[in-house]
Amino acid sequence: MTYLRLFWEFFKTGLFAVGGGMATVPFLKNIGLATGWYSQTDLMNMLAVSESTPGPIGINMATYVGFTVAGIPGAVIATIGEVTPSIIVILIVAAMLTKFRNSKYVENAFYGLRPASSGLIGAACAGVVLQVLLRVTSTAVPDSLFMRFSWDGTVSWMGLALAAVLLVLTNWVKLTKKWHPIVFIGLSAAVGVVFRFGGV
């Protein structure tokens, strides 16, 4: 039953996440909330590993989440679930390539889809910033439409400082902004170990 659910959840992710690997994050967050298979912190760790290993991020994420839920069979099923809609959609599009490219409807739909996809990733971003830096956790409330936010009264000052440095290095310093994300992930891991970011 878990396998079937896993396939279905990732099938939906593959069908509705538009704009590459990062666009799958809000969907994965939603799967975690709805099923309780993994926490938001687990998801962030999976995202970090997916960015630091070979292979497309979206596929790495699907494999990792699937593995976390149900071992190697889970990894295979989640990945196949995520690529199945792609294969179907692309085979259809390929069959009517010129029609697709010149379609007004497709173009107009994407006019609305693109900012929505950015908005979903923006919300995922706000969620992780709240949780990691400001220690505000959001949880789904059963039978309610709204998320519940709770704050333990502390702020991660060291985290904020590291985030500020990384923001500058990845956006404004000419030498470092072309570096691959894995370099910054490695640096952050080292800083985390030296300054005991986990508090242990």
Partner 1 sequence: MNEYLDLFGTFAKVGVMTFGGGYAMLPILQREVVEHKGWATEEELMDYFAIGQCTPGVIAVNTATFIGQKHRGWLGGIVATLGVVFPSLVIISILAGLITNFSHLAWVQNAFAGIQVCVCVLIFNAVLKLLKKSVVDKRTAAIFLIVMAGSLFLHISPVWFVVVSAVAGILLKNLEERAAK
Handedness of CA 151, 154, 155, 156 (dihedral sign): negative
The reply to whether 137 sits near partner 1 by the rule CB under 8 A is: no
CB of 30 to partner 1, least distance (A): 6
The reply to whether 10 sits near partner 1 by the rule CB under 8 A is: no
CB of 1 to partner 1, least distance (A): 20
Among positions 39, 122, 155, 173, the unique one binding partner 1 when judged by CB under 8 A: 122
The reply to whether 126 sits near partner 1 by the rule CB under 8 A is: yes
The reply to whether 155 sits near partner 1 by the rule CB under 8 A is: no
CB of 130 to partner 1, least distance (A): 9
Closest alpha carbon to 128 in 68, 45, 191, 51: 45
- In terms of CB distance, is 141 or 175 closer to partner 1? 141
The CA distances from residue 71 to 90, 127, 191, in Å, are 29, 27, 31
Among positions 37, 58, 70, 81, the unique one binding partner 1 when judged by CB under 8 A: 58
Mask 16-55, x = binds partner 1 (CB under 8 A)? xxxxxxx-xxxx--x--xx------x--xx-xxxxx-xxx
Local structure of residue 137 (DSSP, 8 states):
E
Output the six-digit token pair for 75.
């990894």
Output the six-digit token pair for 120.
């979903």
CB of 35 to partner 1, least distance (A): 12
The CA distances from residue 139 to 45, 113, 177, in Å, are 18, 27, 35
The reply to whether 70 sits near partner 1 by the rule CB under 8 A is: no
Among positions 36, 102, 145, 157, the unique one binding partner 1 when judged by CB under 8 A: 145
- In terms of CB distance, is 4 or 167 closer to partner 1? 167
Residues in binding contact with partner 1, number by CB under 8 A = 114
Among positions 8, 35, 96, 181, the unique one binding partner 1 when judged by CB under 8 A: 181
CB 30 within 8 A of CB 40: no
| Cβ count within 10 A of residue 85 | 17
Closest alpha carbon to 56 in 29, 85, 83: 83
The reply to whether 121 sits near partner 1 by the rule CB under 8 A is: yes
Tell me phi and psi for residue 174, to 5 degrees. -55, -40
